[in-house]
């Protein structure tokens, strides 16, 4: 009887289907099919230690991302869009590196699907941006987007979303501007600010209130380091940013940016 029930369950559950990755890097756009990427001449087995998403060692069939970024230069800006609305803002320069921290596009094989992210959840596929030697360039968790379906070349964040900009009178090396750069790297993939941004995952970080208006500075820093230490719930998605990813000085810059922007809310 158990064997019959298992067989029935397998028949009712359709197999994982192939997917498409759309690259909007110029004209025309390029669409890659799963099978094409799995058979790519540079595809290989890539071993990832302590994978950011799965929290354990993983092995993937992957292609060097640089091999797919035709026409992209180090000065360009990219965005990786995921199925759930996560929109990772990515400077192109680290993605093009072939030594040190190297970016790879992991490709989920429909015949050998990856594990689910949690019970009742899908996997990190169909495509997942992973890194070898991420510590060499302080790669943050937000630079590991999974369930990716599209990669776009876009104008820099400050051009696309003026509402995110700090006071233009501030010097470029002011801690607030340094914090703005960190916000783009670590926060904008999930959060908007002043209603600006492409992400559809987390709350706006300035409207109606900035977290600097209801968190004391020490607690806000603690929350960024380990969200579950202040607010614990099973469905929480926000990762922690430890000191190896976001050193204390940089964490202070990020909080300075958020504090500054609390005084630059749009008039509603």
Confidence (pTM): 0.80
Kindly calculate the radius of gyration of the chain based on its CA atoms and give it in whole angstroms.
20
Residue 183 near residue 260 (C-beta atoms within 8 A): no
d(Cα 200, Cα 87) in Å, to the nearest integer? 8
**Res 240: pLDDT:** 82
Whole-Å CA distances, 229 to 224, 237, 238, 247, 258: 10, 13, 12, 19, 21
d(Cα 165, Cα 257) in Å, to the nearest integer? 10
**Res 13: pLDDT:** 42
**Res 243: pLDDT:** 86
- The arrangement of secondary structure in 18-154, i.e. its CATH architecture, is Alpha-Beta Complex (3.90)
**Res 27: pLDDT:** 80
**Res 12: pLDDT:** 42
**Res 6: pLDDT:** 41
**Res 4: pLDDT:** 46
Under-50 pLDDT residues of the chain: 2-14
* Domain extent listing, the chain: 18-154, 158-261
Q: What is the pLDDT of residues 57-109, one digit of tens each?
A: 999 999 999 999 999 999 999 999 999 888 899 999 999 999 999 999 999 99
Instruction: State the fold for domain 158-261.
Output: Immunoglobulin-like (2.60.40)
Q: What is the pLDDT of residues 217-241, one digit of tens each?
A: 689 999 999 888 877 666 667 878 8
For residue 189, the SS3 value is coil
**For residue 108, is the peptide bond before it cis, meaning its omega torsion is within 30 degrees of 0?**
no
């Amino acid at each position: 009887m158990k064997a019959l029930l298992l067989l029935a369950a397998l028949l009712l559950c359709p197999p994982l289907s192939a997917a498409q990755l759309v690259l909007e890097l110029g004209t025309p756009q390029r669409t890659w099919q799963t099978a094409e990427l799995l058979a790519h001449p540079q595809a290989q087995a890539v071993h990832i230690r302590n994978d950011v998403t799965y929290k354990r060692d993983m092995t993937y069939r992957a292609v060097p991302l640089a091999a797919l970024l035709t026409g992209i230069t180090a000065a360009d800006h990219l965005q990786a869009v995921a199925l759930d609305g996560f929109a990772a803002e990515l400077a192109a320069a680290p993605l093009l590196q072939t030594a040190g921290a190297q970016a790879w596009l992991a490709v989920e094989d429909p015949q050998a699907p990856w594990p689910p992210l949690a019970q009742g959840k899908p996997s990190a596929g169909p495509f997942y941006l992973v890194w070898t030697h991420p510590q060499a360039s302080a790669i943050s968790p937000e630079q590991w987007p999974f369930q990716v379906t599209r990669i776009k070349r876009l104008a820099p964040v400050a051009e696309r979303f003026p509402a995110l900009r700090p006071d233009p009178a501030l010097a470029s090396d002011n801690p607030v501007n340094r914090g703005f750069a960190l916000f783009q790297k670590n926060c904008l993939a999930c959060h908007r600010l002043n209603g600006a941004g492409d992400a559809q995952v987390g709350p706006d970080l300035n409207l109606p209130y900035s977290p600097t208006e209801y968190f004391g500075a020490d607690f806000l820093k603690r929350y960024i380091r380990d969200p579950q230490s202040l607010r614990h719930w099973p469905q929480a998605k926000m990762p922690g940013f430890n000191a190896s990813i976001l050193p204390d000085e940089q964490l202070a810059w990020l909080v300075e940016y958020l504090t500054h922007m609390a005084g630059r809310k749009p008039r509603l």
